Amino acid sequence: MKNYRVALTRDYIVEIQAENWKEAKECVEFFVAGGVDVSTAVEKDRYKFEIKRIKPVVNEVFEIEEISYE
């Protein structure tokens, strides 16, 4: 089999409850990883937010290169 290095971009629309837009922005940036809510119940309580939905909207390869391991 051949080996490839693939550059992938993924974008999501996230619905979140938060105190204000700044808190919403910071919580989404910090607690969404790979399209999954990675926050704990303690973090949700401490920062007063809840991620309601994460919807993937883009999943696209923009570069691919064959590579070899030596």
As for how many domains the chain has, the answer is 1
How many C-alpha atoms does 50 have within 13 Å on its Cβ side?
4
Q: What is the mean pLDDT of residues 43-66?
A: 97
Report the DSSP pairing between strands 50-67 and 3-17: antiparallel
pTM of the full structure: 0.80
pLDDT by residue (tens digit) across 1-51? 999 999 999 999 999 999 999 999 999 999 999 999 999 999 999 999 999
Angstrom distance (rounded) from CA 38 to CA 40: 7
What domain range includes position 40?
A: 3-67
